[in-house]
Structure 1
Amino acid sequence: LETVHRVLEQFFQPRIGEPRWSCRSMARAAGISATRVHKLWAANDLKSHLTRTFKLSNDPNFEEKFWDVIGLYLDPPDKALVLCFDEKSQMQALERTQPGLPLGIGHIRTQSHDYVRHGTVRLFTALDYLQGRLISSIEYQHRHQEWLELLKKINRETPKHLQLHLIVDNYVTHKHPKVKAWLEKHKRFHAFHSDLQLMVERFFRGITVYLREGSFSSVRELESSITTFLALRIAQPTRYA
């Protein structure tokens, strides 16, 4: 193990032409067998093939907003509903150029690699993560007008006696003067702007997997598939806490 640590410290980056360490390349550098390197890596949870990404916020008030949002998730206010909102953009209506074969005994299902693009749509979704309830709309643009329409829909479809705490990202349309004016007239709405704590992304991951296997000859066909998925999730809500 000391030999491997020495190699990692001495050769932090692998040699030119090698994007990362492999068991064999480290074995050559350390003068031991690849099997020995593999066992040492496994015993010490070293995974050179993985990279963990991160993002630093430029918002000077990030830490304050961070704890506000975490507090909403962990300890929601009484007589209030916490909704996290985001947009899934560029949902493409991709039509495969040839029909594939279904799953069968002895072979996996097939899908052609190439496709034809028929346009895109955007899915706006506000998620009640504790109950798994969704308030969504399918749009072609993301302007302040579409955001206002969703706010009005949220206002119609939620109990009037509840305060509404919305966790949204910092997209400019969410701060449009007309949006601010509408929110000022509807005091039960409280917006918290954050780019990093949007649990609705977990829902978007599910719909991405659902649509990935499809073939859509038009945007209308894509919208129909999205609507079907939303109906199923609304009928069987899933708690995200």
Structure 2
Amino acid sequence: MNQPASNGPTISFDEFGPLEIRPQPGRNYCHTDHPKRLPATYTRKHGVQHWLAFYDVHQKKLWGYVRPRKRHQEFLEVLKLTRKKYPANQRIHLILDNFSPHRKEKVLRYCRENNIHLIWTPTNASWLNPIECQFTHVKEFVIRGTNYQNHNELKIALNRYVAYRNKKNQQKLNLDN
């Protein structure tokens, strides 16, 4: 995986979530007399959503789409959006797990017809998927210690984090060259 494929990008995909609107515990490095408590009065009236995320392994770019579910329909929708990011003649090498929506015939047909090569991680080895380590930073910088009021606030925070992260990584790549 050190060298990019000559015929197109290597992209890693996975779902992150469920994302729910409730107070999230955080860390506090200073001593306080009273521990910071989470309010116990929240309700889960907002339901859950999922972040369907992609990571370009060699360009080191992260992006994702918040969706209310993570069925094959949503996966196919975001896969089509990702396909538009690259020229049609470039083959996309997509690393993903064996989650059943990824294996639906509709999805497999779309991939065959649109030059997307699927690379499956072994069962029970999702840690081999390069996007997994990106989720640690999302938890730390977007989720931990927050109390978003709705899913739109959370979506905005995810998008801001991704924009900041990608900009910093691009600057670092430019300095390395």
Quick check: TM above 0.5? Answer: yes
Query: 1:84, 1:109 → 2: CA distance?
Result: 43
Change (3 A) 1:128 1:109: farther
1:237, CA displacement in angstroms?
Answer: 2.9
1:110: Cα distance to partner? 6.1
Distance 1:108 1:165, change over 3 A: farther
CA positional deviation for 1:149: 0.9
Identical columns (%): 22
Aligned twin of 2:38: 113
Deviations 1:138-190 (A, max 9, x none): 1110111111111111111123342110000001111111112212211x210
CA displacement at 1:208 relative to structure 2: 0.3
Cα offset, 1:227, TM superposition: 2.0
Map Cα deviations across residues 87-122 of structure 1 (whole Å, 9 max, x no partner). 1121221137xxxxx988x75996323442443221
- CA deviation map 1:125-144 (0-9, x unaligned): 11012221123111110111
Are 1:144 and 2:72 matched, yes or no? yes
| 4+ aligned runs moved over 4 Å, structure 1 | 106-110
What is aligned with 1:229?
Answer: 161
Q: Is the 8 A contact 2:11 2:55 kept in 1?
A: yes
CA distance in 2, matches of 1:170, 1:78: 26
1:191 aligns with 2:118: yes
Structure 1 residues 132 and 110, CA gap change in structure 2 (3 angstroms): farther
Between the two structures, name the one with larger relative contact order (CA 8 Å, sep ≥ 6): 2
Residues 233, 74 of structure 1: alpha-carbon distance in 2 compared, 3 angstrom cutoff? same
Instruction: Please give the TM-score of this superposition, normalised by the length of structure 2.
Output: 0.78
| TM-aligned CA deviation for residue 236 of structure 1 | 2.6
**Structure-2 change in CA distance of 1:108 and 1:180 (3 Å):** farther
Partner of 1:14: none
Q: CA RMSD in A?
A: 2.7
Tell me the TM-score normalized by structure 1. 0.59
TM-superposed CA distance for 1:231, in Å, is 2.1
Q: Residue 15 of structure 2 contacts residue 50 of structure 2 at CA under 8 Å; is this kept in 1?
A: yes
Partner Cα distance (2:92, 2:56) in 1:
10
User: Equivalents in 2 of 1:75, 1:228: separation in Å?
Assistant: 29
Distance between the aligned counterparts of 2:11 and 2:118, measured in 1? 10
Distance in 2, Cα, partners of 1:141 & 1:108: 42
Higher alpha-carbon Rg: 1
Question: Matched residues in 2 for 1:110 and 1:138: separation?
Answer: 33
Q: CA deviation at 1:233?
A: 2.0
Query: Which residue is equivalent to 1:200?
Result: 131
Between the aligned partners of 1:114 and 1:223, the Cα distance in structure 2 is 22
The CA distance in 2 between the partners of 1:166 and 1:236, in whole Å, is 24
Partner of 1:80: 8
Residue from 44, 50, 57 that aligns with 1:129? 57
Map 1:149-168; keep pairs closer than 5 Å. Answer: 149-168=77-96
Please list every run of 5 or more consecutive structure 2 residues that lacks an aligned counterpart in the other structure. 173-177
2:50, 2:9 → 1: CA distance? 24
Q: Distance in 2 between matches of 1:92 and 1:74?
A: 36
